[in-house]
Structure formats: C-alpha cells, structure tokens
Chain A
C-alpha cells in the first residue's frame, strides 16, 4: 500500500506518536494460532441444542401444528411454538421508531417465505433435535406466492405481509423515499442525449467463516447470560427484552469476538428464542445456524432493480438524472426500509447534477428477508451508477475517466438532498488512479481540485 501524502498535506499535521503507526493488532496471535475463543468454543454441562422447524413453502396458511410425535422422540427436552413467545410480533428498528412490527419470532397463522421459523425443538444432542424436528407435523394451506419485485407491484398481487397491507413500505413521503432537486424534465428537454438503462442483482450471502449463533445459560440469580456473535450488543439485548417481555437487567450479553460479520449478524433472529428456551427449560441452550441456514435462511443482501435515466450534453455534463430503485426486502422489513432510504440519500452518486429525481422503493416479496449487508443501499446502486456513467461517456465519445472529472462534485456544490458538499476528494482519487494505472488524462483534469470550482 502506498500512502499518497502529497494530497491535502496542508490540511493535516502528521505529528502523532500512536496514530498512523502500523502496530500489529492486539488479538492477531490468537487468531492465527487458533487460540482465540469464539462463543461456540464454550461448553456447559446439560447443554441443550435448538433446531428450527422451517417452512417448506413460500407462502402458506398454518392450519395446525402437531408436535406429539416429536415430543416422544428420545432426547427431546422441550418444543416451543408461537404461543410460548411473550411478544411474538416484532421489528428490529422499533428501537429507533421505524415500524410497524411485521415479523413473528415463530410463525403464528401464516408463513411468508420458504425457511421461516415455525417450531423450535430442544434436545440433548443436535442430532436428536434434528430428528425430532423432522417429526413435527405442520398442516399448511399453500397460498399464491410473490417472488419478484415486478410481481409484487402488480395491482392484483397477493399481499405478502398484512402488517403493511401493501407490497411496499409506506414512508412518510408515500410509496417511496423521494428526492427532488431542480427540474428533471427541463433537464431532459435541454439534453443533447438521453439514456435510460436498467440494472439488477440477485441476493448475496455474507459468507462469514463463523455462522450466526449463540449459547445462553440461565444463572442462579435469575439472569440469562447470552454468549453471542451479534454485531450489535444492545440492539440484541433491547429487542430480546421487548420480545421476551423481560426487563433488560435480566439479560447479559457477552460477545465481541466474531468470525466475520458483514451485516448479517445485526438481525436478532437467534438470541431471543434461545433465551426463551433457556428460561423454559432452566438449562443452557445452544442455537447455531448450520451452513445451509446461514446461506438460505439468514438475511442476504437484497436483490435490486435500478432504472437510471440521464440527460447528457455533448460537452460531457450530466444535466438531469432520474433514478428509480427497487429493493427486494423479502417477506419482512428487518433493515430494508432503512437500506432503501439510504439509497435515496446516495443517488445520484458523487456528481454535481442540477436536475435530479429519485424514487427508492422497499418492496415485499415471499422471499428470504434481506437485511443489512456491507454497503446495502449503496453497493448495487454504485454498480448501476458507474456502469451508466461509463455508457454516457462512450455515448458522447469521451474518455470515461475524463468524463467523471467533468461531473465530479467539489466543495460547496449543492447535493440533490440539499447539503453542500464538504471534504470532497473524488477528483484527487481519480488523479492518483490516473497515475498508478497509467491511464493518462488531459492536463486540465490533473490540475483540478476538489477544493475549488476553478478549472
């Protein structure tokens, strides 16, 4: 790695003794020698294993659940269904007042995606729990499913989630989060060229080495210690407290050593039911996702559809940009309404465009709920924006790197969401890229600065 200290040198002092030092991380020896203890390395006498009975259907009504055969299976300690969960209906972001509650810890009347948790089985061994789970009989009435953004938004589409009552999240701004800046139609009218293109992506797995999970022990003083690999200790504690209707002081979360977390461990699909299981059995409980659950049940990065319409001048200026983004939330909100809103804040990208219109939709489908993942709301948006930008440059016969210099935002420029640009450094990144990649651009662009509109 090269530290290119010549840029912005006058905005820094480099007189630190600890900051800027390439010190080895304190835990690296444990990681590379295998001595670091992860939550699952703990063992407790009498540990029970939790396995989840999951929906085999994308969308179905539950007519009945019969656990009698499973209960008789050797080694089974307890079976938990929706009626055992004190506050079964929840949503993660209720803590910061982003509702409505739309998801059940364990399915009640319906399942809304293939893989949804229905019944939790606790047994002496993981194998016994799995065998018993296979003996739980759930009587389903299969319902028509909505599996794509396009189908979800059709007027006669089945409703995925009754708690929303429609197949998209309702913001205070209506069916989507909107940004309006300038007059995009006027921009298109003055443009030399108009280009409208669509981009899409499939769901993506976090792929941590360590799957999501926790071990809960009931303590003698009536508290529960939860050893977890969550990425957010109090998110987990506070949501568990609400779901279990248990005061927060009864809960003790211990974590902080995580085998990879890219947002998948911000959901709270594991700890509340495991704590409940420990409470109901009075025994330590382990609930750890299998690799298959990690890949098909834990929230992936959302699939997205993004339509970008641009107006561009022959001289390279983008004069209008309209973006319509659809984020496939799957069956439940989790963090997706937040992600869609973040995408609206991110478009039109790091460029100064005087006419912008953005609509970001969070859409519900009968799919595995998507949620937080590294850069969600931005990553797929950047793919769309930057491929589109490349197409625009080629459309007018301009070098794609030079085209970006013409449009790059600089300090003081007003962004579409009406914040003045501060601390911009896109131009300098491109100048350095031009040098290290051997991609020459005109002298004019090498003299540009993010700090001034001159040049």
Chain B
C-alpha cells in the first residue's frame, strides 16, 4: 500500500447563452445634467461582478472613465427586460445591449458637442478622460460636463440610448437534430495532478493547471476570480459533493455544511490559470461566457488522474474514498484471481 501520483487531462468547450437562443436582454443608458452616465438594466449581479463589467463596457463605448458610469439594475420598475443571469449569458447578452444603448447615447453627445464647437459630429472624438475634441486638433475641445449641461439646459436634448440583444431562437429539426445551439463557444483544457492513498482511497488534488479561451478578458482580475472559483467548484464536484451520497437511496441527505461535504481551504489544489483570447464575432468586444464552463474540465481531469495514479476507473460522481477503495479492492481481487 502506498500513496501514488498521477495526472490527467480533459478538454472541453461551452456554449454562450441560453441553448437555442431566444433569450433577450435590454439596456437603457442616459446622462445626468453634469455628464455622468447611468446604465439601467434588470439583470442580476450574482456576486460575479456584472455591474462592474457593464460599467466598463458602457465607459469604453461612450469614451468616458468607468468611474463616471453608475449601473442601476435588478429593479423591475426601472430596468427593461432581461431574461436573467444564468447560462453564461450575462456579459454576452447584457453587454451587447449596453453597447447598443451606449452607442446611441454617444452619438447624441457628439451631436451636441458638435453644435457647441460648430463642427461636424463625425469630426469629433473622445479622449477617454472626460473631454470631446476635434480629431487631429486636441485644443478644440469641450468637456463632457459642459456638453451634458448644454444638452439639458440649452439644446433640450436627451443624451440617451436604448439597447437590445436577441439571438433568434432556433428550433431543432425533429429527426436529425439540426439546430443552432449557440453563436459562440468558450474552450478549456485542464491538467490535474493527484495523489491517491491506496490504503484509504483518499484523493488529494495537488495541482490543477487550467487554460481557458474566453474570447476577451474584459476585466482580467475579475476573470481570474471567476475562473479560480469555478476551478475549485470543479474539484469539489469531482471528489466531494452530492446531496444524496447513495443515490438513488434517499437516506443520508445532507442538511447543513457539517454534513454536506466540500473541500475546505486546506484541501484546495495549487491552481494555475492561463487565458487565451480569440474574440467571438458577436460578443461585446469579443467576449464569450466562461461562467459555467470554468467548473467543468477539472472533473474528468481529476478522474483521469486517479486512473493514471492507481489504474482504477470510478465512473460515478462524486469519486469518494469509499468508491476508490471499492475499485482498488476489485482491482486487487482481479489481479490475484
């Protein structure tokens, strides 16, 4: 009996947005009298940082600093319809809606600035830090603060825009299953290294090295947080979690965190992340949805690493010490038979 090491690999892809589309999201954008911008949505921030990403998308599109954008969301009295935050759709669907709304608002803003500067709107650009200037002549400029004031009090114009994004729904052909499930796919490859104790069946994940291709990392730090969290969830799914450990037996169901097994801080593997960007054709700045995918490849990678270590397959999740031990005993019984 000994502790054996092994490593395993898995590679996956994942569709962005609701399967078969048909899942709309809308956004509204408007400026305040002094040139701050408000994004109004009904999308939900689950803690993954949707509000921050929408602010950055709006800021980039209008050409203002992110801190001048406020996101008001998840209130059905003010926010236009969003299908919801699930299916790796938040960034992709809401992001596209915000871009469309922000473009419309930017156009009005430039038109007002053009009147103030007595030039054509098409000759204007933003500097990203709160000013609008004539292209090639940075000294001929007006601040967005003054532009918004002029729009409100002088020109009677609303610097605002409406945005809507909808992937048309696809209906599967009944006999062949011909369909369009998604417009873009994220990708991942994980290599996991494990140690398996042949005496106890216990598996320790030593490291996971994850590569994710996500279209565009709109905010790399927040991407990193989500990918690390997802990676830990994948390990947790692989080795620990179930509400009914002896499914289909309904006994032994966990009722709290004392009974529901999950890895604690000491059980977490060394985690390495690399991110590739192949911009999607229809994503906001090329972004895809990695939210769900990032918890998937670790599960088979860990299972394959266990086989590499001790030569047994556990094809039922979660891969508990009990299941590993039973498989090892079967292996040894087979060897001596």
The interface of chain A, by Cβ under 8 A from chain B, is 1-5, 7-8, 11-12, 16-27, 31, 58, 96, 114, 147-149, 151, 171-174, 177-181, 197-205, 207, 230-235, 237, 251-261, 263, 266, 291-292, 295-296, 300, 303, 338, 341-342, 344-346, 349-350, 358, 365, 367-368, 372, 374-375, 377-380, 382-387, 389-391, 400-401, 404, 408-409, 416-419, 422-426, 428-430, 432-433, 436-437, 439, 450
Contact = CB atoms under 8 A, between A and B. Distances in A.
B177 A303 contact: no
B77 to A, nearest CB: 5
B250 interface: yes
Which 4 pairs show the lowest CB-CB distances between chains A and B? A256-B74, A232-B84, A179-B177, A386-B300
Interface stretch (B29-37, B112-120, B137-145, B239-247): B239-247
Given A202-B245, A350-B187, A439-B7, A260 B47 contact: yes
Interface in B240-259: 241-245, 247-250, 253-257
Nearest to A419: B180
Contacts of A205: 241-243, 254, 260
Contacts, number: 408
Interface in B62-96: 65-66, 71, 73-77, 79, 81-86
A253 B75 CA distance: 6
Contacts of A203: 242-244, 247
Contact of A234 (B82, B181, B243): B82
Given A18-B128, A22-B220, 7 more contacts: A8-B277, A18-B60, A18-B65, A253-B74, A345-B182, A383-B303, A417-B179
Nearest to B181: A345
Contacts of B313: 387, 391
Nearest to B305: A390
Contacts of A148: 248
Given A295-B255, A342-B181, A404-B11, A2 B243 contact: no
B262 A382 contact: no
Given A253-B75, A295-B243, A404-B11, A429 B213 contact: yes
A385 B296 CA distance: 11
Interface string B250-290: 10011111001010000000001111111111000110000
Contact of B13 (A173, A341, A349): A349
Contacts of A439: 7, 9, 191
B105 interface: no
A23 B52 contact: yes
**Which of B220, B247, B248 has the most chain A CB within a 10 Å cutoff?**
B248
Nearest to B214: A425
Contacts of A7: 213, 276-278
Contacts of A404: 9, 11
B147 interface: no
Interface string B3-25: 00001111111110001101000
B13 A350 contact: yes
B263 to A, nearest CB: 12
Contacts of A345: 15, 19-20, 172, 177, 179, 181-182
B19 A377 contact: yes
Contacts of A5: 277
**Which of A5, A151, A202 has the most chain B CB within a 10 Å cutoff?**
A202
Given A256-B75, A408-B11, A433 B189 contact: yes
A237 B217 CA distance: 33
B76 A430 contact: no
Contacts of A258: 44-47
B10 A382 contact: yes
**Which of A255, A341, A358, A425 has the most chain B CB within a 10 Å cutoff?**
A425
Contacts of A380: 317
A12 B57 CA distance: 17
Contacts of A349: 12-13
A263 B74 contact: no
Contact of B217 (A20, A261, A433): A20
Nearest to B188: A429
B301 A418 contact: no
14 contacts: A1-B220, A1-B224, A19-B56, A96-B22, A147-B248, A207-B257, A231-B44, A231-B85, A233-B42, A295-B254, A382-B299, A417-B179, A419-B180, A430-B11
A382 B47 contact: no
A383 B71 CA distance: 38
A117 B82 CA distance: 29
B51 A26 contact: yes
B300 A387 contact: yes
B316 A200 contact: yes
A233 B219 contact: no
A233 B79 contact: yes
B99 to A, nearest CB: 11
Contact of A200 (B174, B220, B257, B317): B317
A303 B277 CA distance: 34
B318 interface: yes
Given A261-B46, A344-B177, A379 B299 contact: yes
B209 interface: yes
Interface in B287-313: 291-293, 295-297, 299-301, 303-304, 307, 313
A330 to B, nearest CB: 11
A295 B219 contact: no
Nearest to B230: A374
Contact of A382 (B83, B244, B250, B296): B296
Contact of A428 (B213, B241, B260): B213
Contacts of A251: 76
Given A303-B247, A387-B300, A180 B177 contact: yes
A230 to B, nearest CB: 7
B11 A230 contact: no
A417 B223 CA distance: 30
Interface string B232-243: 010001100111
Contact of B242 (A174, A204, A232): A204
Given A3-B275, A27-B45, A258-B46, A20 B218 contact: yes
B317 A383 contact: yes
A233 B189 CA distance: 34
B9 A400 contact: yes
Contact of A26 (B55, B86, B255): B55
Contact of B304 (A4, A178, A342, A390): A390
A178 B189 CA distance: 28
**Which of A179, A368, A379, A380 has the most chain B CB within a 10 Å cutoff?**
A379
A417 B177 CA distance: 6
A429 B76 contact: no
**Which of A205, A235, A386, A430 has the most chain B CB within a 10 Å cutoff?**
A386
Contact of A233 (B8, B11, B44, B57): B44
A26 B52 contact: yes
Interface in B140-170: 169
Contacts of B82: 232-234
